[in-house]
Chains A and B, each alone.
Chain A
Amino acid sequence: MTIYADNAATTKLSKTALNAMLPYLEEAYGNPSSLYAIGQRAKEGLEDARERVARCLGCTARELTFTSGGSEADNQALRSAAQQGARKGKKHIISTRFEHHAVLHPLKRLEGEGFEVTLLDVHANGVVEPEQVARAIREDTCLVSVMYANNEIGTVQPIAEIGKLCREKGVLFHTDAVQAVGHLPIDLAELPVDYLTLSGHKFHGPKGVGALFARRGAPLASLIEGGAQERGKRAGTENVASIAGMAAALEEATGGLDASVPRLTALRDRLIAGLEEIPYCELNGDRLRRLPGNVNFCFEGIEGESLLLLLDDKGISASSGSACTSGSLDPSHVLLAIGRPHEVAHGSLRLTLGADATEEEVDYLIASVKDVVAYLRGMSPFWRDLCSGKRPHVFEK
């Protein structure tokens, strides 16, 4: 059996998305800025896709800027709000410790430019409480950026509440919703956010395309100069085929949410229950306030990369927050942010289910992880020390 269980990393392109892309690769390949027919057909496809994405999200087409993906959209949102903040003498930004690096790294750069950044704690359950944001907002706060759902541990943040209080205080609010769009119902007509980031390949669209929602009136700066595309907010010939594919994938994903959310949630909980039978492991992140397809565990006594390699041998694609898989000395900043000590953070496993996951696959995942964990513990001197009491257990059971 082969199971792709790394859908938070990327997803398989859906047939619907692929079919929506082909006309713009094969026939209407013109430049949307050209005035002849195949250029104008591409332009129509582009604007049609914008309308369709807007309908899925409950915003207007004018509020959407297509980008190369989530990272660019995050950068653009932060930079836009920061530039306005600097003009007004407001140079304080609030975010969280477990944001994606596409938010944390630009914030680091802004710090170097004289901004002050407050990163909020995310607690053991991986959820930021609105009161924390309320307490952190100051007179000179120009932006709050809190991710909709965490990419590693899947915890869903109280975005509506945080957005409401940002609005009351007159502070711009950005949410990186890369993991949430197409996976949870989102209605921008109701949700009080000023900026929202999304990425096509997280909901069975193509890679290399995303969008930034910037609510009417929210400042929007251009990161890429060199042309009037995207109303002057993003130079460069538009990736029409991918934008069309993303729109089709989003319609498919959001149209199926009523069925997919309960179905995936049930599969997720089955997977969690199965893995919890393994001794000395713990679920990372809140059990209920989490994405339908996200399961993330820490196992004592083993290291994540060897776990992934052996799961790969069993046909399972998964990911880990261990240092060895990140290529750095430190394990995942997300796991450290929720208080996991290094020694168990190295032994983490993330399984993220796709739209077509089945119960049979979940059972195979459970059996395979149990096998591999037991095998690796069998050769681990660390596990031996934990069992003999020479080193203390981190988890209770």
Chain B
Amino acid sequence: MALYSEKVMDHFRNPRNVGVIEDADGVGEVGNPVCGDIMKIYLKIEDDKIKDVKFETFGCGSAIASSSMATEMIMGKPISEAITLTNRAVTEALDGLPAHKLHCSVLAEEAVKTAVRDYYDRNGIAYDPSQFPSGEDCAHCDRA
């Protein structure tokens, strides 16, 4: 389908880093079933670096591709770098998304940040809350 770029279809058909990390150091889940997409990111962190990352996604093709791309973009990176991931960077790495699918890349950014915040919370590491999404609320519709 020409709805999506080749890059999106590649990440959708062959998603990278799908799965669960049972002993994850940080887990972030965003979205909700009513809106039709949930993303869950699992992080394994060592020496302030993302040693491993896995994702699970319930959602459309671009939601799956956005999660896959986001995990690839933060794998092996220092946490300080991972939390600067933006939805725009995810979208660009996917060679673009249709306008009505941009929220999928937003969810990917929020899922990563929520997982990092969980890691900070678990380890009593101080952080600036304004750097993180407000919670698990879906920002794209008000039915949550």
Contact = CB atoms under 8 A, between A and B. Distances in A.
B125 interface: no
Contacts of A309: 1, 9, 12, 61
B113 interface: no
Interface stretch (A32-40, A60-68, A230-238, A297-305): A297-305
B58 A342 contact: no
Interface residues of B, number: 31
Interface stretch (B28-36, B73-81, B82-90, B116-124): B28-36
Contacts of A331: 36
B69 interface: no
A309 B100 CA distance: 17
Contact of A343 (B12, B15, B29, B33): B33
A48 to B, nearest CB: 40
What DSSP secondary structure best describes chain B's contact surface?
A: mixed
A345 to B, nearest CB: 9
A313 B13 contact: yes
A253 B38 CA distance: 45
B1 A306 contact: no
Given A329-B140, A329-B141, A380 B36 contact: no
B34 A303 contact: no
A312 B12 CA distance: 13
Contact of A303 (B15, B55, B59, B140): B59
Interface in A302-344: 302-306, 309-310, 312-313, 322-325, 327, 329, 331, 341-343
B61 A379 contact: no
Interface in B25-47: 29, 33-40
B72 interface: no
B39 to A, nearest CB: 8
Contacts, number: 75
A4 interface: no
Given A303-B63, A306-B60, A381 B40 contact: yes
B65 to A, nearest CB: 10
B56 A322 contact: no
B99 to A, nearest CB: 10
Contacts of B61: 305-306, 309, 324
Nearest to A394: B33
B60 A322 contact: yes
A324 B103 CA distance: 11
Given A301-B58, A324-B60, A381 B36 contact: no
Contact of A382 (B12, B38, B100, B143): B38
Given A306-B12, A313-B13, A382 B58 contact: yes
Contacts of B50: none
B132 to A, nearest CB: 20
Given A301-B58, A327-B100, A381 B143 contact: no
A3 B20 CA distance: 35
B57 interface: yes
A329 B35 contact: yes
B18 interface: yes
Interface in A107-156: none
A6 to B, nearest CB: 13
B107 interface: no
A240 B59 CA distance: 45
Nearest to A342: B34
A346 B36 contact: yes
21 contacts: A303-B37, A303-B60, A306-B12, A309-B61, A310-B13, A313-B13, A322-B60, A324-B59, A329-B35, A329-B141, A331-B36, A342-B36, A379-B15, A379-B18, A379-B55, A379-B57, A380-B38, A380-B57, A381-B38, A381-B56, A382-B33
Given A303-B63, A324-B61, 10 more contacts: A304-B60, A305-B61, A306-B64, A313-B13, A323-B36, A324-B101, A379-B56, A380-B56, A380-B57, A391-B33
10 closest pairs, A vs B, by CB?
A343-B33, A346-B36, A324-B60, A305-B60, A382-B58, A381-B40, A380-B58, A381-B56, A342-B34, A309-B61
Interface of B: 1, 9, 12-13, 15, 18-20, 29, 33-40, 55-61, 63-64, 100-101, 140-141, 143
